[in-house]
Structure formats: C-alpha cells, structure tokens
Amino acid sequence: MSERQKTSTRIKFGGKEIIISGPKNSPYQHYKEEMTSKSLPKWRNIEIPVELISVQFKEKVITRVNHGETGAKNVAGQKAIEEAKSKLPNGARIVEERLEEISTGKTEDLIRVRAFIETIEDIGQGKPFKANEEVNY
C-alpha cells in the first residue's frame, strides 16, 4: 500500500506567504507534515527576504489490531520494558525485569501492565581529600 501525500508550494516574502500550488491545510485527518525552506543567497552583503517553502502532507494510516489477551499482554509488556529501559542512566546494570498486570476493576477491551526494572548503578562521586582541610557537605 503506497503512502498518499499532497505537496503545497509557497513563496514567503517578508511576513506574507503566498500559496503557488497545492492545499493550504492537510486534506487528511491523520497526517505528518514535513516542511523544507530555501532562501535566496546573499549578494554583496544584501539579504533578500524571500523563501521558497515546500510543505508535504503525508497521510498516516491508522490500523487497529486485536492481538487477543495473551498477545496484548506480550505487546504491552514489551513496550513497557522498552520505555523503562530508555530512561535508565548509562552504566546501569539490569538485575531483574518484572511485569505486573494492572486491574482497574472495570470490564475493558485493553490490557494494562506495569514494568519493574531493578538495576545496580554506581552513584558514588570521587572528591579530592586533603588531611588538614575542613570538609563541608
């Protein structure tokens, strides 16, 4: 399936923007916008405030997949662990990973999990020490 996209070409002169071709706003409900801008080069230390702007509206296709209860637990657990690992400081060594399913007491068509990661990390800080000097903490 190919990605649908529309491109808008514009000229910006000072504070005014003129659309040469394409739509002003995205024609898609879910989209990603990518903008590129090109300015005229300086000539003899004179800067001309004209830009050529290209805006691409790329449609995002939203799909919903039913993994089943077991598959949903696996996907949710994997995402929770990845999210927790991304927040770990450099040099932290993982000792244990654990997942816990969260129950809200309501009948829902989704799975909630909490990730626990136990780590060991060096939090000590080296400081110079002189024998006859007062130390303030």
According to the model, what pLDDT value does residue 134 have? Answer: 67
The domain limits of the chain are: 5-59, 68-120
For 29-87, the pLDDT digits (tens) are 999 999 999 988 888 888 888 899 999 999 998 888 888 888 888 888 999 999 988 98
What beta strand segments (E) does the chain contain? 5-13, 16-21, 31-39, 50-59, 93-102, 112-120
For 94-104, the pLDDT digits (tens) are 999 998 888 87
pTM over 0.75: no
Over its C-alpha atoms, the chain yields an Rg (Å, rounded) of: 27
